[in-house]
Amino acid sequence: MESKITYYKTPIGTAKIIGDENGIQSVSVLDDDAISNESLNLKTPECLEDCVLQLEEYFTGERTNFDLKLNPKGTTFQKKVWTALLNIPFNKTKTYLEQSKALDNVKAIRAVAAANGKNPIWIIIPCHRVIGSDGSLTGYAGGIWRKKWLLEHESPVKQQSLF
């Protein structure tokens, strides 16, 4: 079965979505100048329409949970780590250490962090919700500024600008 591709413009870059009838394989973020307008204007394949709709609802604040068939490509260990990420609720964070403990392998903290970094399904598998033990926003393939934006987007307390 041939994978389909579509693009969706988000407030923090263009999402590139890849998948087929077996599920979403990848959602990555591109800088807006990395994609042509022609690609943005292509019709979304039917098998990816629900993913685009749910991402749109997430960004407008109408969705806190995704209900999509996922089919990420990775090792058995990576898939186990990514499945655990799905258990981190909207507007909550976990540390890499807490994530390792949840997988019953506290010594695997570096491997868990590496698997998080290879997460192919941006936002939907919420690796942005994993932070350093000191509360720092460590490592994020989409860029720390995007991780910060996503965590603030999910926060029930919206910071008001003083200026």
pLDDT (tens digit per residue) in 48-93? 999 999 999 999 999 999 999 999 999 999 999 999 999 999 999 9
Task: Please say whether the beta carbons of 116 and 140 come within 8 A.
Answer: no
User: Is 77 exposed, middle or buried (CB count within 10 Å of its CB: 0-12, 13-18, 19+)?
Assistant: middle
Write out the H or E segment, with its range, that includes residue 84. Answer: helix 76-85
Cα gap 58→14, rounded to integer Å: 14
Q: What is the pTM of this model?
A: 0.89
Cα gap 114→103, rounded to integer Å: 14
- The pLDDT of residue 65 is 95
Q: Between these two residues, 13 and 41, which has the higher pLDDT value?
A: 13
- The pLDDT of residue 158 is 62
Residue 163 pLDDT grade (very low, low, confident, very high; cuts 50, 70, 90): low
47 is a catalytic site residue:
no
Cα gap 133→18, rounded to integer Å: 33
Tens of pLDDT, residues 27-47: 999 887 777 777 777 899 999
Cα gap 114→95, rounded to integer Å: 14
Tens of pLDDT, residues 124-155: 999 999 998 888 888 787 889 999 999 999 99
Spell out the residues 6+ positions from residue 37 whose beta carbon is closer than 8 angstroms to its own: none
Out of 115, 127, 130, 131, pick the active-site residue.
127
Quick check: helix, strand or coil at residue 130? strand
- Supply φ then ψ for residue 30, to 5 degrees: -120, 150
